[in-house]
Amino acid sequence: MNPSVKKEIMRYSMMLLGCFIYAIGFCLFMEPNNIVAGGITGLTLVFKEWLKDVPNVSNLSPAAWLAILNAPIIIISFFQEGFKFTINCLITILVLSGITALFDTLRDSYNWIIDVDMLTACLFGGILQGIAIGIYCKYKVSSGGTELIGRFLYEWTDKKVTIPLFNGLSDAVIVIIGVVTFKNPANFLYAILVIFLVTKVSDAIIVGLNKSKMVYIITTKGEEVGHFLVHNSPRGVTLINGKGMYTDNAREVLLTVVKKTQINQLKEWVKALDSNAFVIVSDTTEVMGNGFKHLIDEDDK
């Protein structure tokens, strides 16, 4: 099969999976409990509540509101982002709206699931939506909404308003509107919990759970420490020549990346070899190469 065709099949398959998971989180846990945690889905709950007494509008489903609120964003996207990108967004929005509508029609069959306390709803909703958003990001799928508005502002303001900044501010505003609309101050705390879970879970989906530690070892015994680590550590070591700016003395810097379970053993070895060594340990979000993940191009997935 042609690699580009295989790539598109995978991307759309994961888009369908992401939409299905997102719809479960929204329809089964967020919407029944009126948990407004930002984004267009949060606005659908707000508009539905505002217009609940308006004839012909009060009967609109969350799926309909998703499509209606995304419509002007999609129109702007045609002019701003181009035809291909917008069509891909439109397909995702329609699929998400369709699956949401399907769950809405089947509500009687899963009422026993949605009858949970608010904390449980937040946990399930946040985790499920985090998985979905992680899939969207990993496979370069856009579901429109506030993220797309953030793209517009990023370009219109000459990159002064970044996408994460706008998304954070817009989510905060929508959450506050939700608190006022439903007259429930506790919703603010529930929304923070959901946003935290969405951020953490989506990050785990995008970069993985197998995080590593990057270690700099500044020592005067670089050769001795380096050779010991090469022969005893399962990871490679790189020697960098440096100089202490305060003392003006030569220093050798060893760079290595180890898994979290190996960091304590590494520190014990360094302490035994050079108790005066200066060791810097930092988290790494992704390591590719021998002994870790295979070095691949994300676009080839």
* Predicted confidence (pLDDT) at residue 299 exceeds the cutoff of 60: no
Instruction: Write out pLDDT tens, residues 193-233.
Output: 999 998 889 888 877 766 788 999 998 888 899 899 888 88
Q: How far apart are CA 134 and CA 131, in angstroms?
A: 5
What residues make up the domain containing 140? 3-207
Give me the pLDDT at residue 293, please: 65
Q: How far apart are CA 39 and CA 30, in angstroms?
A: 12
Same domain for 141 and 239, yes or no, is no
The pTM (predicted TM-score) of the whole model is 0.75
* Predicted confidence (pLDDT) at residue 295 exceeds the cutoff of 70: no
Domain count, the chain: 2
* Nearest one of 50, 43, 70, 67 to 174, comparing CA atoms: 43
Q: 18 versus 138: which is more confidently predicted?
A: 18
Mutual angle of helices 222-232 and 263-273, in 10-degree steps: 140
Give me the pLDDT at residue 294, please: 64
Among 88-92, 98-102, 258-262, which is the least confidently predicted range? Answer: 258-262
Q: How far apart are CA 274 and CA 155, in angstroms?
A: 52
Query: Domain boundary at 186, 207, 228, which?
Result: 207
Domain annotation covers residue 289: no
Instruction: Write out pLDDT tens, residues 155-190.
Output: 788 777 776 677 788 888 999 999 999 998 998 999
What 8-state DSSP symbol labels residue 140?
A: T
Give me the pLDDT at residue 126, please: 92
Give me the pLDDT at residue 210, please: 64
Cβ neighbours, 10 Å, residue 263: 14
Same domain for 169 and 68, yes or no, is yes
Q: 129 pLDDT band (50/70/90 cuts)?
A: very high
Same domain for 150 and 14, yes or no, is yes
Whole-angstrom CA distances from 242 to 155, 220, 230, 239, 245 are 41, 10, 20, 10, 9
Same domain for 20 and 55, yes or no, is yes
Pairing of strands 250-259, 278-284: unpaired
DSSP code per residue over 258-289: EEGGGHHHHHHHHHHH-TT-EEEEEEES--BS
Give me the pLDDT at residue 177, please: 93
